[in-house]
Each structure stands twice: as C-alpha cells, then as structure tokens.
Structure 1
Amino acid sequence: MKKVAVVTSTRAEYGILTPLIRAIEKDSDIELELIVTGTHLSKKYGYTVSFIEEDGFPISHKIPIMTEGNLPCDISETMANALKGFAHCFVNDPPDMLVILGDRTEMLSVAAAAMNEHIPIAHIHGGEVTQGAVDDCIRHSLTKMSFLHFTSTEIYRKRVIQLGESPSRVFNVGALGAENILHESLMAESEIKNILEIPASMNYAVVTYHPVTLETFMAEKQTKELCMAMHQEHELFYLITMANADSGGDDVNRILSEYAKKHIKNTKLVSNLGMKKYLSAVKYASFMLGNSSSGIIEAPVLGTPTVNIGDRQKGRFMAETVITCEPTHESIVYAINAARARKHKPMYIYGDGKTSQKIVEIIKRYLFEKEISLKKNFYDCGVIV
C-alpha cells in the first residue's frame, strides 16, 4: 500500500484540507499519514490540534517548530526548526508522496526536507498571486519544488505552466474551500448566533485581518484604521478572528484585542472557530471584512459580500461580490456601506465541489500507473529570445 502524507500547520489550512484528508483516509488503496505542526501545537494560537483529534483523524507525527514572537528573525528560526524536524521525520518514515497546501513560510522548509529525501510533492493552490505578501514568492518556490500541481482555476493552471511545469502534471481541480461549503451541513442562523453570542437582532460582519508582510511596519497603523472604521459603523456586530503567525501578527492581535475589550457590546474576538462554525458565521454575515483568502474563495460561494482591504490579496481571481478598498478608515467605511447594499448572490468560480475526489484519483494514477521521475524538464511556453 502506498503512503500519502498530508501536512497541516494552521487552523485555516486544516479546515481547507479536511475533505482531502477524509478522502485519503477512506480510500482502500492508499494509507493516510497526517503530520501536524506549526500553530496547531502552540498554546498561544489555541492548540488547534485538538480540533483534528476531535474529528477523529489518526495523527502520524506531531512536529513542534514554533518559536516565541513573529519578527522576521523568529520566523526564520521557525523555518529552521521545520527543516530539521521534517528532515528527521522523512528519513525515518518516508511517504510515497507528500501533499502540501498554499504558501506558508514553514512549508518551504517542509518541501526542502522532502526534496532532499527524493519524496515527490503534490502542491495545492499554486499559480496564485498575492502581491502584498511574502507568500507570493514562497508559493512560486513551492511550485518549482513540486511534482504534481493542483490549481483552483484555469488561470492559475496556466500560470504554473508559465513557471516551466509540464502541462501533463498541472491540473485545474477547483478549490477545497469551495468543496467544504458545497458539502458541509452548516448551522442555522439562530444557532450560530446563539453559540457565538451575537445578538439576534443585530446584523454582523466576520472580520479576519492579517498583516501585509511586504509592507514593513504597517500592520499597527492599518489595523488601527480598520478599528476606526468599525467604531464609526457601530450599529453592526463584529465577530473578529485572530491573525495568523505572520510577521506583524502579534501587533494585529494586540490592537484587535484592545478594541474588543473596549467595545464588548458589539464586538467579539475569538482565536479560532473550527471550519463548521466559521463557515456558518460567514454564511449569515452581512459581509466579510479584512484581507483573508477566505473572503476571496469561500465567501463568494456562500453569496456573502467581501470588503477586501489593501494589497494582501492583490492579484487573485475575484468574484464580483468582492469589494477592494484602501487600508484607510474612510475607504473601509465606504466599502462597508457598498457591501451592505449588495444582495447575497452565490458565485461559483472555484470549482464544482469535487476537488478532493479529483486530487485522490490523480495521485493514485501517478502512484500506481505512471512513472514518477523527479528529473523535470523545464517546459518552455514560447520562443526564447
């Protein structure tokens, strides 16, 4: 039996990967090796490995890598820890294929360790562009280190090919986030409001704001602008989820925490919700507010408008339900009012909800039928001058 390893390091990433993890676990021809690392194992970020354990998935390895703080030096140290930890993991228990998602800095170290052990990598969500974040160069680097590529749109598939990857190994399968929504049984509005203590009579917004990692020292200023906008639009309730472990994330969380303490009547700050509660909250929200990729991928499927702040997601393929604004409180307020005026209209630009099935079928085809050669040729799209 062939062994397929899936790595998860954050709460958001795990929520996206859940249908694929489930599909691999249920398949009788392949064995799931689930490796948990990163903020999942950090008390500071809610020790979200407990969500995975509650879901009943068998965890093969837990690899702690996090350092205190999220300054650039701290992130580099976390990456070093990941490289060392996964190197030992892969030499002692090598999978037949490794599945990684997205653009997290620690995934660069995971991929490097796998590359050194000659483990073929399947990468999800390549070809995307986020001009405001360091994620962009991480994502493209992961593309060049990977053997199989699973993109969420045809535009992104063509970008991966443009990076020199053979079209025969690049597949447009849609987004796992869209699959979650189309197949998950979500809560009723009254139930999710009751659980999250949102007043039944109030309209609310789900707020997720992360630092823009290529705009050095701007996290504090931009988060304060967001808070000013929320304060001005005080008739709404704001359900805020904490920022991730990117550089500047501590500043974002500190300011949002201070804001929530001062505005307890219409604000609630949570470290994590889990996939079902998060998607249920987004479904009934008046709009999403912030700069999370979930506002670009998941919210449109639910029909919920998104106020997308600043450049973090700049370059992504966006539905017409997404309103982009500058990171100033005046621009954010204008976009909030525009979003509130929008009708909820589901948009299906990220696949048909069968992404995990497609990924498993393609992985099995390569593991059992095709030859996997890590001697990749560079695919030239046109004439080189």
Structure 2
Amino acid sequence: MKVLSIVGARPNFMKVAPLHRAFSKFSDIESKIVHTGQHYDAKMSDVFFNQLELPKPDYFLGVGGGSHTQQTAKIMVEFEQVMLAEKPDIVLVVGDVNSTIACAMVAVKEHVPVVHVEAGLRSNDRGMPEEINRIMTDCISDHLFVTEQAGMANLKRESIPDEKVHFVGNVMIDSLVYYRSKASQLELLKELNLDRKSYVLVTMHRPSNVDDAEGLKNILAIVKDTSEHKHVLFPVHPRTLKNMETFGLLDDLKTLSNVTLLEPQGYLEFLYLMENAALIITDSGGIQEETTYLKVPCITFRASTERPVTVELGTNYLLSDLNPESVKELVSEILGGKSKKGQIPPLWDGHAAERIVEILRNKYAK
C-alpha cells in the first residue's frame, strides 16, 4: 500500500507527523510525503520537519503564494506530475488549506482514493476560504476521519454515506501527547525571566483581523490592556508584523511595557509556552484544540468556530469581534479565577493516527 500524504501549511505538519510514524511501523506500507510549499518560510516550515522528526519530503512542489485560485491551480498542475510518477494507492490530505482541496481533486480525477483527516468540521461561514475547502474535500473523499461529534452530525446532514465516515479522534492531539514531555524540558521561561502562569500568550494572524488598520489598532489595545494584568508574550506572525509596519503601528507595539515580542516559534517552543500560560488570546483554529487538551483558558476571535467541542466541553471562549472592552472584561474574569475547567473530548487520547492506519490497512493493504 503506497500512501502520499500532503502537507502545505504549518498546521498540516503536526497532523501528518503521527500518521507517517504510524504508517512506518508496517513493512507493507510505503509512506511518502509531498510538501506543496503553499506556506514556505524556514521559521514556519523547516523547523517543523526537524522538530516533528519528519523525513525530508519526497517531493517539494514549491508553489509559493498567489491568490487562492492561482495557488490551487499551481498545486494541481504540479501534483498531477507526482501522481503520474508515483501511482499511489491512497492520497491522504489533512485540514482545510488550499493544498488539501487541490490534491484531493487531482487524486479523484486520477481515480485514486482520497482520505481526509479532520473531516466534517464546519464554521457555517462560507466567507472563509477554509470552509469552502472543507465542504468540497469532504464531498469527494472516500474516507472521512472525524475529530469530534459535531463533525459526524455535519456529514450526516450533508448526506455523506455512513460507511465512509469514521470517528477516530484528533491527530493534532497525537502530536501534542507525543511531544509534550520533550517540550517540557525546554528552558524558555528561564531565558525570558518569567514564571509558570505569570503571562498571557497572544497570537494573531487571520486576514480578517490583521489586514486593516482598525483591526490592528484593536489588537494593540487588547495587548496593552492585558499587559496591565500580566506580562504578555506575543510571537508575531510575519503577516501581522508586515501590516503593523505598513499602518505605522509597529513602533507603538514595540514600546508597550510588560510586553515581549517574539519571532514565530517552533512547535516544541510554542507547545511549552501554551502549557505554561495563564491564558491564551488567539484567532487560530488548532490552538483552540490544544488549549482544550492542556486545560488552559483560551479566547478566540472568530465569528464562529468549526471546532464547537472546544467551547462546549473545553476551555475555549469565542468572541465575534476584536472589541477591546469585551476582551478586557473577559480577561479580568478569567485571570480572576472564574475560567472554565474544561474536559478533554472523547478519543483525544494520542492514538487517533493508529486507528486511522488500522482502518486503511484493513481496506487497502495488498
């Protein structure tokens, strides 16, 4: 059984790593990795391959940036050549980035089964390009591996046949469980002269939040207000940094007292900083899941979430807009000891990849 697993953007690496490790335990499975280069930056890509112990990708397509349409088209053209050369038994895609839908479409047209890991998630906001990618990928996939019960309900509502759908847990949590001990050995807090739970960790990168002056001014106000409670650590995403500079706000950000700006962090470093934070303020998708598992309070700036279990069972709070006053009130409440305790969702136990590989091996191993 030959499997091509696709990675394109930072979150994909954490999802493919446990799958590749699980595939590699079997001599009758050939696991190859295709890196589309959708997001390519040494700080946000190479470091993940090194830290997650992934081998050098068998293929690097180097597609780079461009509009959603341009990027998707470039990936399809380049990946078609890989498909014709490799003739895999399965193409495995994860998450919801442009690489996910692009490679899935090529595989389907080549009559190769598509496996979608992290299927069924829905924000019900079609203004998000990721939502379109999710819906389309699920519609054409042969096997859909689901992380939470909401995903099962979504796929049933969309009339995806039950025999295609498998509730297996969360491969993102597999990586967290596997690397948690290694991350705990870091000494970042000592280097930053901070104690456990003495700081708030902030990340912001979504275009809807960081691509205009109003959003960036609100982020500036939120960071400033939060720093009056605790020290703020802010690993600044390249997009956010560039836009802060463009709108003339970077100097204001740099001069805030009780705030430390950091470069984008490696996976282990960020896991360490999450686990030791008193609170995380973010607009990320995956961080909602990781903080729920770690039982660290998390405020997420999104009008909706495709991961509702993090709000219903976990430690996540959803805020629909970057309103500094709303954030100030919630931060004060959480840091004052009134935060959710949270529960770890079903099957988020570090063994999702093993379940996935067992199902695929039973179906496709010759």
Q: Distance in 2 between matches of 1:244 and 1:314?
A: 25
Give the deviation of 1:329 after TM superposition: 0.8
Instruction: Report the count of equivalent residues.
Output: 355
The answer on 1:228 being equivalent to 2:221 is yes
Match of 2:104 among 89, 111, 114: 111
Match of 2:287 among 287, 292, 295: 295
2:197 touches 2:278 (CA, 8 Å); kept in 1? Answer: no
1:53-132 equivalence runs, <5 A: 53=50, 55-67=53-65, 74-130=67-123, 131=125
Question: What is the Cα-based RMSD across aligned positions, in Å?
Answer: 2.9
Q: Distance in 2 between matches of 1:323 and 1:270?
A: 26
Amino acid at match of 2:363: Y
Q: Distance in 2 between matches of 1:353 and 1:201?
A: 25
Amino acid at match of 2:4: A
1:1-385 equivalence runs, <5 A: 2-39=1-38, 41-42=40-41, 46=43, 48-53=45-50, 55-67=53-65, 74-130=67-123, 131=125, 133-184=128-179, 185-188=181-184, 191-195=187-191, 197=192, 199-200=194-195, 203-211=198-206, 219-235=212-228, 236-243=230-237, 251=243, 260-263=253-256, 265-274=258-267, 276-311=268-303, 313=305, 316-317=308-309, 318=311, 319-325=313-319, 326-340=321-335, 341-342=337-338, 345=341, 347-351=343-347, 352-368=349-365
Structure 1 gaps, min length 5 = 68-72, 370-385
1:222 touches 1:328 (CA, 8 Å); kept in 2? Answer: no
Amino acid at match of 2:37: G
2:93 touches 2:117 (CA, 8 Å); kept in 1? Answer: yes
Amino acid at match of 2:302: G
Q: Distance in 1 between matches of 2:7 and 2:213?
A: 28
Q: Distance in 2 between matches of 1:171 and 1:284?
A: 34
Moved more, 138-147 or 346-355: 346-355
TM-score, normalised to structure 2's length?
0.86
Percent of aligned positions that are identical = 18
Give the deviation of 1:360 after TM superposition: 0.4
Amino acid at match of 1:367: Y
1:39 touches 1:48 (CA, 8 Å); kept in 2? Answer: no
1:39 touches 1:47 (CA, 8 Å); kept in 2? Answer: no
Equivalent in the alignment of 1:378: none
SS of 1:59's partner is coil
Q: Give CA-to-partner distance per residue, 1:317-337, whole Å, 9 cap, x none.
A: 323421222321111111212
TM-score, normalised to structure 1's length?
0.82
Amino acid at match of 2:82: C
1:36 touches 1:49 (CA, 8 Å); kept in 2? Answer: no
Amino acid at match of 2:8: S
Moved more, 315-324 or 121-130: 315-324
Q: Distance in 2 between matches of 1:172 and 1:52?
A: 27
Amino acid at match of 2:128: A
Structure 2 gaps, min length 5 = none
Q: Give CA-to-partner distance per residue, 1:94-135, whole Å, 9 cap, x none.
A: 221011111112322121111221121110112112236221
SS of 1:123's partner is strand
